[in-house]
Amino acid sequence: MKIVVVITTYNRTDALLASLEGFLEQKDKNFEIVVADDGSGAETAKAINSFRERADFEVHHVWQDDQGFRAGAIRNRALAQSKADYVIFTDGDCIPMPDFVSEHRRLAEQGWFVTGNRILLGETLSREILEKRISANQWPVRRWLVAFLRGEVNRWFPLCSLPVPEWVRKLPARRWQGAMTCNLAAWRENLLNVNGFDESYSGWGLEDSDLTIRLIRSGIYRKSARFAAPVLHLWHMEYDRGLLEKNRRRLAELVASHRILANKGASQYL
């Protein structure tokens, strides 16, 4: 099974490099990366090119013009670019744990997409990790417990690796709420069958919910990666949510319908 990791980024080179470094430290090296760039400047391209020279896996860079927050569109372009069997989506401000790829590979199953969770890091800790280039994904769980007690992270327990039974992982099979594309994996064929992300969404918010609803309607159900494949989410200022209400109305229209295909999706890039 060939895996591609799609990393979405926009003008935050330090965080992107921290994320990419986390993929250098993966136990499973059998994957490729596509950096899905939503309009960053030349600094990001330069950083990716420099990283590519050190990576022992393929690294591609897909870019689109900066026309505001268009994460769905750049993910569709990345989805069209790669021919890998299985796609893991994450963000350029998320650092993977060393077994992130191997655990997603283990959890991959036909007929299912997989959603993981994240640990939110505070501003001070995030700045320290970036400025000192700390490999925080190598910290033992007890170090994260200390960070939690200090108020540096929102939780620590999901970093524990637990033997969760398969039937428990499949309990949220038809639940779309709470799925986030900072940690979501699916078969490329299944994503293309629903036409990928719906680019009708403008600005931040809910394009990932739209995708998961349509996947579930198509007969592809949700499986949890909790206590297996979390990511460390670096602090950032809150995105502009001025268009969120409009996106909520668009999502409500989808919920009230039986639609499976994205109105404007990945097919335009194939």
**Per-residue pLDDT, 76:** 97
Residue 34 · residue 58 · CB < 8 Å: no
Q: What is the pLDDT of residue 236?
A: 83
User: What DSSP designation does 140 have?
Assistant: -
- Would you state the pLDDT for residue 244? 79
Mean pLDDT of 174-197: 96
Tens-place pLDDT, residues 58-101: 999 999 998 888 999 999 999 999 999 999 999 999 999 999 99
Tell me which H or E stretch contains 106: helix 100-107
- In this predicted model, what pLDDT tens digit does every residue of 95-146 receive, in sequence order? 999 999 999 999 999 999 999 999 999 999 999 999 999 999 999 999 999 9
Average pLDDT over residues 149-159: 94
> Of how many residues is the chain composed?
270
Give the pLDDT score at 242: 65
Residue 10's pLDDT band (boundaries 50, 70, 90)? very high
The pLDDT-based confidence of 241 (bands split at 50, 70, 90) is low
Cβ-based neighbours of 121, under 8 Å, separated by 6 or more: 129, 136, 152, 153, 232, 233, 234, 235
171-184 mean pLDDT: 95
Rounded to two decimals, the pTM is: 0.96
Which of 99, 28, 40 has the alpha carbon at shortest distance from 64? 40
The domain locations on the chain are 3-269
pLDDT of residue 204: 75
* Domain 3-269, classified CATH 2.40.30.200, yes or no: no
- Asked if residue 238 has pLDDT above 80, the reply is no
Identify the pLDDT of residue 82. Answer: 93
Res 133: pLDDT: 94
Check residue 8 and give its pLDDT. Answer: 97
The DSSP result for 181-234, as a single string, is: TTEEEEEHHHHHHTTSS-TT--SSSSHHHHHHHHHHHTT-EEEE-TTTS-EEE-
Q: pLDDT band at residue 202, thresholds of 50, 70 and 90? A: confident
Query: Any idea what DSSP says for residue 132?
Result: H
pLDDT in tens, 17-53: 999 999 999 999 999 999 999 999 999 999 999 999 9
Q: What is the mean pLDDT of the chain?
A: 94
Local structure of residue 203 (DSSP, 8 states): S
Exposed/middle/buried for residue 101 (C-beta within 10 Å: 0-12, 13-18, 19+): buried
- What pLDDT shows up at residue 128? 96
Residues 6+ apart with CB under 8 A from 231: 90, 94, 95, 96, 97, 100, 116, 117, 118, 119, 182, 183
DSSP state of 237: P
Residues 150-174 have a mean pLDDT of 95
